[in-house]
Chain A
Amino acid sequence: MVTYQIMRTSQGVTPLGGVGFTFFGFSLIYTALGVTLIFLLRGLATGAPTAKDEASHVA
């Protein structure tokens, strides 16, 4: 349902072809960007602070 009891999803969908293509295409792009982001964040991560880091931070 797009709007409950008013319009079904099948009535609301665009009459154009290629809905599957855009859906899977955009899903693929978002997945690829998400994976890239994870790699980049992993590269930035320096690991959890050690006991020594904690001690020097307090001091």
Chain B
Amino acid sequence: MSLEAAVAGVALIAMITYAVLAGADFGGGVWDLFASGPRRDDQRAAIAKAMGPVWEANHVWLVFVIVLLFSGFPIAFNALSIGLFVPFHLVLLGIILRGAAFVFRSYSLRAASLQVQQVFTRRWGYVFGVASVITPLLLGMCLGAVSSGNLRVISGQVRFEGGIPWLAPISLVIAALALALCAYLAATYLILETSGALREDFRRRALYAGTAVVALAVLMLPLLAVEAPHLLGDLFQPRAWPVLAIGVVSALVSGWALWQRRFQLARVSAVIQIVALLGGWGLAQYPYIIYPDITLTNSAASQGTLAFLMISLPFGLALLIPSLYLLFRVFKAGTLEPERGR
């Protein structure tokens, strides 16, 4: 395996990890925004409790991807930061506002009247929810833009082909799929963090989101055939078959498990589904970073830089993984304990 492929592989794994962990956080925000019914406040409390102190740490994976991209593939980074200037800045804005709003909402304004407190909580809650919906949509749009072939880099100049690439129909469908997957993942996590009627609320929400995921995936196939036949072709080539098969099977298992109330299985297979989907995308996209002009090879830094990245990686991970393990262990252990006894 070439050094370029190794660094890109690590970046893909980091991306998948981000999707699985932060995706559920975005999804939690989505369900916060759409909290409804008699247990609306309980739903929000369960979401806040589940996300708690670990969720900001999940952005470490996004930072990791960005660092790998600008140190390993500076030419691709340059093109992306020009071509996707607007959505990237909006993603940044979304992440900033989400973080701030989540924390601000839970502060109580002691000095203020109860009414002012309620308005304050509601407004910041709204900011949190809206930012949680918009951010994964934008990330999905960016993924669509680099895959569809509408973002061109010709002799170092970034060009748009046929309209704004991140607003092309294919990008919008990928965006909707990303949002539905986040919502689905979050609901399957939340089922396991709640009980009784609240658990039923989240089961129903998981079923809605799961239906949306399937509908959007079905809608995407003909759209891919028309707008990005290369991607569809690469997705159905033999090397991607196992990943594709795992994706489809885990999606079906997840839906069935949800229906049968085997919630642990539903969650595990929902995670596998997302891993397979993004892994499959990675295989289809290979060897491109921005199809069809920017490849791993023509945008890579020098071999020395790539080698240094790979050598320093274990040291970085040796620091990061135990820290994250400890963080999850300390703050999430309380909710995991009762399940073990069941």
Name the residue of chain B whose CB is nearest to the CB of A41.
B107
Q: Do residues B110 and A43 form an inter-chain contact, with CB atoms below 8 A?
A: yes
The answer to whether the Cβ of B111 comes within 8 Å of any Cβ in the partner chain is yes
A40 touches B104 (CB 8 A): yes
Whether A43 and B107, one on each chain, are in contact in the complex, defined by CB atoms closer than 8 angstroms, is yes
A29, B104: Cβ atoms closer than 8 Å: no
From residue 67 to 116 of chain B, which have CB atoms closer than 8 A to chain A?
Answer: 81-82, 85, 89, 92-93, 96-97, 100, 104, 107-112
Task: List the count of A-B residue pairs having beta carbons below 8 Å apart.
Answer: 31
Question: A14-B82, A16-B82, A22-B89 given as contacts; is B96 within 8 A of A33 (CB)?
Answer: yes
Q: Determine how close the nearest CB of chain B comes to the CB of A26; give it in whole angstroms.
A: 8
- Identify whether the interface residues of A are mostly helix, strand, loop, or mixed: helix
B82: which A residues are within 8 A, CB to CB?
Answer: 14-16
| CA–CA, A14 and B89, complex, Å | 13
Q: Is A44 positioned at the interface, with any CB of B under 8 Å from its CB?
A: yes
Contact of B108 among A26, A29, A43 (CB under 8 A): A43
Residue of B nearest to A42 (CB): B111
Contact in complex: A43, B109 (CB < 8 Å): yes
A31 within 8 A of B: no
Q: Which residues of chain A are within 8 angstroms of B111 by Cβ–Cβ distance? A: 43
Tell me the smallest distance from the CB of A30 to a CB of chain B, in Å.
8
Report, nearest first, the 9 A-B pairs whose CB atoms are least far apart. A40-B107, A33-B100, A43-B109, A43-B110, A16-B85, A43-B111, A22-B89, A14-B82, A16-B82
The interface of chain B, by Cβ under 8 A from chain A, is: 81-82, 85, 89, 92-93, 96-97, 100, 104, 107-112
If A18-B85, A33-B96, A43-B110 are given as contacts, then 4 extra A-B residue pairs at C-beta distance below 8 Å, sorted by A number, are A22-B89, A26-B93, A29-B96, A43-B112
